[in-house]
Amino acid sequence: MKIACLGWGSLIWNPEELILASEWQADGPLLPIEFSRVGDGGELATAICLNVPPCQVLWAPLVFQQLDEAVAALRRREKIPFDRKDGVGVFTINSLTVGVLGKWAADRQLDAVIWTALPPRFEGVEGLIPSLDDVLSYLISLDGPTLEHAKFYMENVPEQIETPYRKEIRKLGWD
């Protein structure tokens, strides 16, 4: 089974136990990604956010031959509890596969695609999408190690993950 993982954030520079079969490729599908999830380390992380324009994400084939092994590795890497039902997206290819992701995966002869599917999170509320003003106020409020970690995250997200919020965050002197 040929399995790939999609990425748009820290998986790119720090995959940990998510073992890649090759380098990240820049020609992933177009997905609606935004800096909309306050991460456990205080960074403003990227997440799928359905109310934003799409950008081209990255992808990498994985060494795993079994889908459950690949999903488990992504869960461990992202520290998503195994009893949490969401958190990892899975798409399997079949003969009737249609749509943007299906066509993209079929063109690359993939059998399955996985990705981190944690929702936006703001003020500790899962699913809460912060406004641009919320994001800017949050980032301006950071200091010390949290500020440094948040800047490190923003600087390391690939340039092709160009989002409306990122354009405004750059005006703060970030990135």
For the record, the structure tokens of 92 come out as 């399997």
Query: In the beta sheet, which residues pair with residue 92?
Result: 112
pLDDT tens, the chain, 175 aa long? 999 999 999 999 999 989 999 999 999 999 999 999 999 999 999 999 988 999 999 999 999 999 999 999 999 999 999 999 899 999 998 866 778 899 999 999 999 999 999 999 999 999 999 999 999 999 999 999 999 999 999 999 999 999 999 999 999 998 6
